[in-house]
Amino acid sequence: MSFRKQRIAFVYDFDGTLAPGNMQEYDFIPKLKLTSKTFWNEVKRRAKDQQADEILAYMYLMLRKAKENDMRVTRQDFKQYAKRIEMFPGVSGWFDRVDDYAKEKGLIPQHYIISSGIREMLLGTSIANKFTDVFASSFMYDQHGVAEAPGLAVNYTTKTQFLFRINKGVRDICDNKKINQYIESDQREVPFTNMIFIGDGATDVPCMRLVKAQGGHSIAVYKPKTSKELAEQLRSEGRVHYVAPADYSKGKHMDKVAHAIIDKVAAYWAAKKL
């Protein structure tokens, strides 16, 4: 088995997938003296009025409301706002357990995030060091590290480009040349067949469909003890392979699904080698 084909990549959405709710709702929006409902309603209204992208609209509104409240927002501030983000059950131990099992099967595990949330917040979470890379919306900063304007907006369709960046091994966001170069499928860094995408809703559908269509695996998660109607709908429509509660604890359904996929990927390449 080649080094390239040994890699197995777990790719996650974040909000609603690894953590309940939206990351901005834990600390940032309360500091604006707003309710989450008020903030997101204004985002939707502004986006509709201006025919703008909702991701850009919420990033703009974060900066505008911060300015109105005399809040200076720096990279470090964003990391601090992430400290109180809660994870779903089992997330803290999930990555090491998955890694150990994959390595037992002769695979090299990697983990990535592709999120419409704020990259600087994600880098401040307790699990940030578990990821090979984090692709998410981010700001541009002045010489003092103060956020000035949106720099990158990741919405439900642009998420798919990052799957190709993982696939081709082109993780530099500013590299628009190499990402569009033709690379033979067997020369790509992470084959789609070795990719698992985990998301929770409609905004993840393009990624779910792409990974599934390319021979990889897609999983729709839902908040434990709540309705799994949307997740089941995604499965019935053929958009995902698996549905599971967002409980990443040892022995739970997600754990079993991950092990089954690892077994399948390892067996596939062992058979190809023969």
pLDDT, tens digit, for every residue of 226-244? 778 888 888 888 888 999 9
Of the chain, the percentage scoring pLDDT greater than 90 comes to 77
The pLDDT assigned to 19 comes to 96
Query: Which pLDDT score is estimated for 271?
Result: 83
Q: Are residues 51 and 107 in the same domain?
A: no
Same domain, 119 and 76: no
For CA atoms 220, 209, 261, 102, the dihedral sign is negative
Residues 182 and 114 in one domain: yes
Instruction: Say what the pLDDT of residue 1 is.
Output: 45
Please report which helix (H) or strand (E) contains residue 42, including its range: helix 36-50
| Beta-bridge partner residues of 147 | 141
Examine the domain organization and report whether 13 and 75 are in the same domain: no
Res. 262: pLDDT tops 80: yes
137, 154 in Cβ contact below 8 A? yes
Share the mean pLDDT of the chain.
92
Q: Which residues are within 8 A (CB) of 261 and not within 5 positions of it... i.e. 6 or more apart?
A: 196, 217
- Give the confidence band of 194 by pLDDT, cuts at 50, 70, 90: very high
Give the count of domains, the chain: 2
Is the domain of 7 the same as that of 114? yes
pLDDT tens for 97-115 read: 999 999 999 999 999 999 9
Question: Are residue 124 and residue 193 in the same domain, yes or no?
Answer: yes
Do 150 and 66 share a domain, yes or no?
no
For residue 8, the domain's CATH number is: 3.40.50.1000
Q: Give the C-alpha distances (Å, rounded to integers) separating 67 from 31, 70, 73, 255.
A: 12, 5, 9, 44
Q: Are residues 192 and 76 in the same domain?
A: no
Domain's final residue, options 66, 81, 96: 81
What is the value of pTM for the model shown?
0.93
What average pLDDT does the segment 64-81 reach? 92
User: Which of 60, 86, 71, 87 minimizes the C-alpha distance to 30?
Assistant: 71
* R_g (Cα) of the chain, nearest Å: 19
DSSP for residue 77: H
- Give the domain-ending residue among 81, 104, 130: 81
Residue 2's pLDDT band, with cuts at 50, 70 and 90, is low
Domain shared by 161 and 206, yes or no? yes
pLDDT at 209 over 50: yes
CA geometry: angle 245, 247, 253, nearest 5 deg: 65
Q: Check whether residue 235 and residue 111 sit in a common domain.
A: yes
pLDDT exceeds cutoff 60 at 4:
no
What is residue 121's predicted lDDT score, i.e. its pLDDT? 96
Domain end call among 61, 81, 101: 81
Q: What is the C-alpha to C-alpha distance for residues 114 and 9, in angstroms, rounded to an integer?
A: 12
174 near 160, Cβ under 8 Å? no
Same domain as 151, residue 101:
yes
Query: What range defines the domain where residue 56 resides?
Result: 24-81
Same structural domain, 227 and 205 = yes
Say if residue 56's pLDDT is above 80. yes
